Amino acid sequence: PLLPSTVVTLHDIGYRYFPRSHTPVQRLYLDLSTRWSAAAATRIIAVSRHTAGDLQRFYGVPETKIHVIHEAPVPRTSAPDQDAAAAPSYQRPFVLYVGTIQPRKNLLRLIDAFARLIQRQQIGWDLVLVGRWGWLSQEYERHAAAKGLAGRVHFPGYLSDAAVAALMQKALFFAFPSLFEGFGLPVLEAQTTGVAVMCAKNSALPEIAGDAALLVDPKDVDDIAKAMLRLSQDENLRQELIAKGYENVKRFSWEKAARETLAVLEEAAAKK
């Protein structure tokens, strides 16, 4: 063969689900580069079964060519002497999201769900959305204000690992209602930290979260609201999910990923 043996890692095919998140030129590049990589590679590493399925569905990649190797969380370290200065503080308990502030993360519906709860009853906790501003992010603060949530929805922006770790440890629970994830590392980071998780029941998230998260329909605002209210009120459920989360993250490690990756590399080299 003209090409050397190659192994390519593909994380997701999100641009096929959310084409409007990319310019036409970006979409063309992503599609052509993925198509070429999938065709030319001797072996393909997919980070989830969901991504492996997408490669078969969209690009006709044979199942025998794909190896699923899960990523793993790296615990965010928090230095106690730095936390107070690095992490913002809030008067009320809070529910936490960590990730880019962009449409695919479904934060407008999360804000809407929070607004519905506040309209219906007394809610003694806030919503904290941590992350750097991404595509179309300018509308989020305006949306929260229009819902009457100024002072109840907080956007601290990008924070250091130490600050995020400090907030994780104090969070009532972690909310991750994303519309699409090729893997979903924030879910595992939350479980590693010991915080209960609510996440969407789509894409790779159920595969990664296992039985250690309260799953919601990310397009159903009422379903998100009900789950948020339930988790905020049910201490036993939170503790159950925390315990299951500690067990779930044992399935993932970079040592395991390294061993599996080496095996794929050796297999590809043997094909030469």
Domains in the chain with CATH codes: 7-72+253-270 (3.40.50.2000), 80-251 (3.40.50.2000)
- Distance, CA of 194 to CA of 19 (rounded, Å): 35
Say if residue 84's pLDDT is above 90: no
Convert the pLDDT of each residue in 197-255 to its tens digit. 999 999 999 999 999 999 999 999 999 999 999 999 999 999 999 999 999 999 999 99
Burial of 84 (0-12, 13-18, 19+ CB in 10 A): exposed
Say if residue 168's pLDDT is above 80: yes
Burial of 249 (0-12, 13-18, 19+ CB in 10 A): buried
> What is the average pLDDT value for the chain, to the nearest integer?
93
Q: Which residue has the higher pLDDT, 102 or 196?
A: 196
**How far is C-alpha 40 from the chain's CA centre?**
29
Burial of 265 (0-12, 13-18, 19+ CB in 10 A): middle
Number of H helices, E strands in the chain: 12, 9
Convert the pLDDT of each residue in 3-25 to its tens digit. 789 999 999 999 999 898 888 99
Residues 6 or more apart whose CB falls under 8 angstroms from that of 143 comprise 108, 111
Say if residue 78's pLDDT is above 70: no
Say if residue 87's pLDDT is above 90: no
Say if residue 81's pLDDT is above 70: no
pTM over 0.85: yes
Instruction: Please compute the mean of the pLDDT values over residues 95-112 and round it to a whole number.
Output: 95
The pLDDT value recorded for residue 28 is 96
Convert the pLDDT of each residue in 137-165 to its tens digit. 678 989 999 999 989 999 999 999 999 99
Convert the pLDDT of each residue in 10-68 to its tens digit. 999 999 998 988 889 999 999 999 999 999 999 999 999 999 999 999 999 999 999 99
The pLDDT value recorded for residue 74 is 85
Percent of the chain having pLDDT more than 90? Answer: 85
162 beta partners: none
The pLDDT value recorded for residue 79 is 58
Say if residue 86's pLDDT is above 80: no
The pLDDT value recorded for residue 77 is 67
